[in-house]
Amino acid sequence: MTRVRVVSALVVLAAGLFGATSAKAAPGDLDPTFSGDGKALTSIGVSSYGNDVAVQADGKIVVVGGSDAGAGGTTRFALTRFMPDGSLDPSFGGDGMVTTDFGNVAADAVALQFDGKIVAVGGQAVARYLPDGSLDASFGAGGKVTTDFSVSDVKVDRDGRIVVSGYGGGGLVLARYNGTDGSPDASFGVGGTARTDFNRGVDTFPGGIALQADGKIVAVGSAPGLDGLGDLAVARYNGDGSLDTSFGQQGTQITDLGGDDALKDVAIGPDGTIATVGRSYCFECSSTTLVVAVYTPDGSLRGLSLTDVDGTDSGSSVAIQSDGKIVAAGGTIDDFLVARYDSVGNPDPSFHDDGVYADVGVRTTDFGGADSAGGVALQPDGKIVAAGASVTYGADGSAVSRIAVARYEGGSISGTAPVNSSPPTVSGTAAEGQTLSANAGAWTGTAPLNRSYQWRQCDSAGANCLDIAAASATTYAVAAADIGHTIRVRETATNAYGQGFADSGATAVVNGNAPVNSAPPTISGTATDGQTLSLNPGVWTGTAPISRSYSWRRCDPSGTNCVDIAGASITSYVLVAADVDHTIRARETATNGYGQSSVESAASTLIKAKPGTIAGTVRKQKSGAAIAAATITCTSGYSSKTGSTGNYSIPNVPPGSYSCTASASGYRPSTRNVVVSAGQTSTANFTLTGP
């Protein structure tokens, strides 16, 4: 009898009930609607194998791995697509199979884009295929991007960017590529690449990666411990490729199980739980066990299970159901191994072979050879798909490998994750300073659903979108930085069983605003011929930069019927004789890339002529001697006194006719009429009769 040993070391215990199993199909039973018995075997070339699997939205199953041409041949990327019933899909490569030569390497991992394209990675190649299996010529060079490191896993983020992990330079390497053309994403790490050695100073070996809903990236692998043996290694990165210092110990978490330990894959649960799978080798007992380690969102170890079926067990892939249960896949010495655990790593007793592994939540599947699962994926209906290889040996000892796929019943799941049936929409005018509003989309899924929003700035075609910082309300005030871009809003719906998101359509290209005046210009200065008036600029709103120009205008006494003054186009103006008995206004014109607007100042007071001066002497009639301290008084209140020389001067007298009188103590006054001309000095001499 096969020996079964399960060690469960839980850091935090969780209580809960497992769902009831169907009377017809128990969780973990092979699904007879898939290839008749739940299993499918296929070959590409002389020998082929599967390393990873993904389920399309239409239920088709994509398996990636390698195909060998035989003696002297090379290994190629091998992609196989199955129909939901387990038959090969003839719309993919003509017969359901595609191979591509990328230099004697196999595909190790696969990810599906939202548009149906397929991304496969292996060796130093990242390749993208169209839904029909042909290479996507818009990606990289003829459908392939070549890295400078060995790639082990791939995911597609919510923005359509491609995130890969691998090994290079002695450490874990992450790289991110733009989904449009495969070019490196310069906003990630250094030139699109981030590297981590877990501060061990020696080689760190990568496993898989998973993407959180907030854009953070979780990577797992193996980091050598102080004893030289591998330890479980987990790291979390921010969206820019830097380590997330809020996770574990400054971004990394190391777990030493005492053996030679490694993590191979990772998945993120609906509540942010991080589930990892791998293996632990015990030197003393010469056995390998499947490891499931569960971490909290902050990197603390929450649960740990070691599953030992026959001492040669390892985990290669992990997925999390919408109810939080963890599904791990790998191999024993001869069979597929699929195991299920609760959300903290306790084996699920409802998932078992008929009494054989009743206490450990394990299923094994025999394809007739030495079998091992490399990847696991979940269907929306809860069924479990595992893919890998089945190796048989001829009489001469030669080995032949075939791609092996199995589908299992998942059992009843009490709820469903949110699924969008109608995306959100955006209302409002796409212009700077305007407010856009998010109108909720329609979702199915188990209530209650919580919704959140993120506004995104995209290029003019609505692609290459990036989250806008601090823009997570249901409304968004369009900023100057959005001009020339389009805006989308992303709605994320979350419930206890998962999370989904949907993007609105793109707005029109955001325009700026033409200048709008909020305070007109003003004029300062003396309204007199020869004086200088100054324009004090008005206040404008509108999209920067705003340029301003000016013109001075001569108006009638009431401030109307204005005409531009030739050559008067700066912020100051010297009044001339032609302005006398008129008023003056200043016009300010503001211009930007979106329009032009003008506004005028209030009219000045009536412009006065340049004043004149009344000047002369006061002398004695008989002797002609100067009379000092004589007073000269003119109408309108203008006056002056003579000095010791008998001279006087009355400045700033407006043009006109005046009656002026000179008087002095002991003398008879003398009066005369004086006409003052603009800017001129009018002479008025007086002689007084006296002692």
Q: What percent of the chain has pLDDT over 70?
A: 94
Residues 6+ apart with CB under 8 A from 182: 126, 128, 139, 140, 145, 162
User: Is-contact 407 47, C-beta < 8 A?
Assistant: no
Bigger pLDDT: 522 vs 285: 522
Q: Is residue 203 predicted with pLDDT exceeding 70?
A: no
- Exposure string (b/e) for 255-274, b if CB count within 10 Å is 16 or more? bebebbbbbbbbbbbbeebb
Domain boundaries along the sequence of the chain? 5-46+154-408, 419-503, 516-600, 612-688
Q: Residue 199: which pLDDT band, with cuts at 50, 70 and 90? A: low
Q: What's the rounded Cα separation, in Å, for the pair 275 and 342? A: 11
Handedness of CA 566, 572, 576, 578 (dihedral sign): positive
Q: Residue 1: which pLDDT band, with cuts at 50, 70 and 90? A: very low
Q: What CATH number matches the domain at 612-688, 2.60.40.1120, 3.40.50.1000, 3.40.50.620, 3.30.450.20?
A: 2.60.40.1120
Q: What's the rounded Cα separation, in Å, for the pair 209 and 288? A: 23
Which pLDDT score is estimated for 200? Answer: 53
pTM above 0.75, yes or no: no
Q: Residue 70: which pLDDT band, with cuts at 50, 70 and 90? A: low
Which pLDDT score is estimated for 580? Answer: 95
Q: What's the rounded Cα separation, in Å, for the pair 298 and 547? A: 52
Q: Are strands 612-620 and 686-688 parallel, antiparallel or unpaired?
A: parallel
Q: Residue 8: which pLDDT band, with cuts at 50, 70 and 90? A: very low
| Mean pLDDT for the stretch of residues 315-337 | 93
User: Is-contact 573 582, C-beta < 8 A?
Assistant: no
pLDDT tens, 36-62? 999 999 999 889 999 999 999 899 999
Which CATH number applies to 419-503? 2.60.40.2700
pLDDT tens, 575-622? 999 999 999 999 999 999 999 999 999 999 999 999 999 999 999 998
Q: Is residue 169 predicted with pLDDT exceeding 90?
A: no
pLDDT tens, 500-509? 889 999 999 9
Residues 6+ apart with CB under 8 A from 621: 687, 688, 689, 690
Q: Is residue 19 predicted with pLDDT exceeding 80?
A: no
Q: Is residue 7 predicted with pLDDT exceeding 70?
A: no
Poorest-confidence range of 304-318, 527-541, 674-688? 304-318
Bigger pLDDT: 589 vs 417: 589
Q: Residue 3: which pLDDT band, with cuts at 50, 70 and 90? A: very low
CATH architecture assignment, domain 516-600: Sandwich (2.60)
Which pLDDT score is estimated for 412? Answer: 75
Helix, strand or coil, per DSSP, at residue 577: helix
| Mean pLDDT for the stretch of residues 223-229 | 83
Tell me, letter by letter, the H, E, C secondary structure of 640-672: EECCCCCEEEEEEECCEEEEEEEECCCCECEEE
| Mean pLDDT for the stretch of residues 388-415 | 90
Q: Is residue 524 predicted with pLDDT exceeding 90?
A: yes
Same fold, 5-46+154-408 and 612-688: no
Q: Is residue 562 predicted with pLDDT exceeding 70?
A: yes
Which pLDDT score is estimated for 411? Answer: 85
Which pLDDT score is estimated for 174? Answer: 96
Which pLDDT score is estimated for 462? Answer: 93
pLDDT tens, 439-459? 999 999 888 899 999 999 999
Task: Tell me the CA distances in angstroms from 637 to 67, 339, 536, 627, 640, one per residue in order.
Answer: 114, 112, 35, 22, 10
User: Is-contact 208 215, C-beta < 8 A?
Assistant: no
Residue type, 29: D
Nearest to 73 by CA among 100, 46, 108: 46
Helix, strand or coil, per DSSP, at residue 54: strand
Assign a CATH topology to domain 5-46+154-408: Neuraminidase (2.120.10)
- Exposure string (b/e) for 66-92, b if CB count within 10 Å is 16 or more? bbbeeeeeebbbbbbbbbbebeebeeb
Q: Is residue 15 predicted with pLDDT exceeding 50?
A: no
pLDDT tens, 646-677? 999 999 999 999 999 999 999 999 999 999 99
Instruction: Report the mean per-residue pLDDT for the chain.
Output: 91
